[in-house]
Amino acid sequence: MEDKKTIRVVELFAGVGGFRLGLEKANKDLFEVVWANQWEPARKAQDAFECYTRNFNSGIHSNEDIATVPDDVFQKLRPDLVVGGFPCQDYSVARSLSGEQGIQGKKGVLFWEIERVLKNSHPKYVLLENVDRLLKSPSKQRGRDFAVMLATFRNLDYTVEWRVINAADYGFAQRRRRVFIFAYKNDISFGQSQLNYNQEEIVFHEGFFAKAFPVKEEPYKSRTSEVEIPIDRVEISDNFSFEFHPAGIMRDGMIYTAHTEPVEIEPTPLGDILLDEDEIEEKFYLTKEMEKKFEYLRGAKKVERTTADGHKYYFSEGGMSPTDLLDKPGRTMLTSEGSINRSTHIVEVNGRKRFLTPIECERLNGFDDDWTKGMTDRMRYFCMGNALVVNLIEIMGNRIEEIEKSNETELIQLELL
């Protein structure tokens, strides 16, 4: 009997498992996570890892510094797909002192670990997530870091698409903007079939993201750009600067990027994800003292401040609504959610103001209720502030399944010829 076809997945920087949950929601029988790594440096408690192991029981769960995992582990895993949400760091590179060992990246930068995994396992697909400022970093040399990443993929024979996606634009309950990066090997069926389209057609109609998250026909204010990235990553690190737009493709070092506009789907209002008030514990309601603090924090202000060297300046901040509107999607959730902080969500129901509960924060990201149960409330908020919107990964998982099916159809047609 023929083995059932699965897509073997390696999950890096797994957190509480948003990538895996999204893929399993797309098709649990198709996506098989064979190895997942989550390790929080300088922390005794590994809350995210413990949450991951509570919610998933198959595959190998690794709780170790990814840099210490030997190359042969990745060689043996043979993943078809590598996924991960990695931190935005400084990707500057330099030639080694001897000049013979190629380039050296800054130590501790986790993208180099992604490169090492890809070099040792050669997956067909790579799906990554990051904050959207990655496209513009560092501020003194805009676009350099992302170009170094793209050159890395080019050197490993991948084509790369990217798209900044706001979850609320596609029907979900949180205005959360993140950049997603999808890379695929040039020699696979999908890579070959995409050669039938030019780069503009891929970004607007035929690409990985365009079919899953449709965009308008024309770029915003006609903003498009093209450039070829240098072969030498040291040259990129030292001199390259470029404005990357929210969508684009890199193929054989040639970049086409455009400021796309989403074909929007009505977002889910914040009010739709709230628990019934009789389920809310008293500890989540604001005291009168807290209400006064939030009134100040969320109000307009102009405050005189003094720098360490005695220079005086004014810090200004515009006002915001005293509570979050229940008929609109929620704002971006940060790791400080649930604390007395301007960015914390405050809802008013039946005349009482309160924080969102950890379950409501899970719902904002598309996780199942009580996904992070067992941690302190503080850590539950922190983990959700770090997490991605699971529903977006589910859509991307469906798109990968669609690509796999079209690959199989093409192979069958070739065999029949």
Tell me the catalytic residues: 88
Residues sharing a CB contact under 8 Å with residue 33, sequence separation 6 or more, in sequence order: 9, 10, 11, 20, 23, 56, 58, 59
CA distance 140 to 130: 20
The two most distant CA atoms of the chain are separated, in Å, by: 80
The secondary structure element, H or E, covering residue 312 is strand 312-317
Q: What is the DSSP string of 156-223?
A: TTEEEEEEEEEGGGBT-SB--EEEEEEEEETTSHHHHHGGGS-HHHIIIIISHHHHHS-B-SS-GGG-
Residues 6 or more apart in contact with residue 190 via CB below 8 angstroms: 184, 403, 406, 407
Task: State the virtual CA torsion across 370, 373, 376, 382 in degrees, nearest 10.
Answer: -60
CA–CA distance, 406 with 411 (Å, rounded to integer): 9
What is the bridge-based pairing of β-strands 81-85 and 125-131?
A: parallel
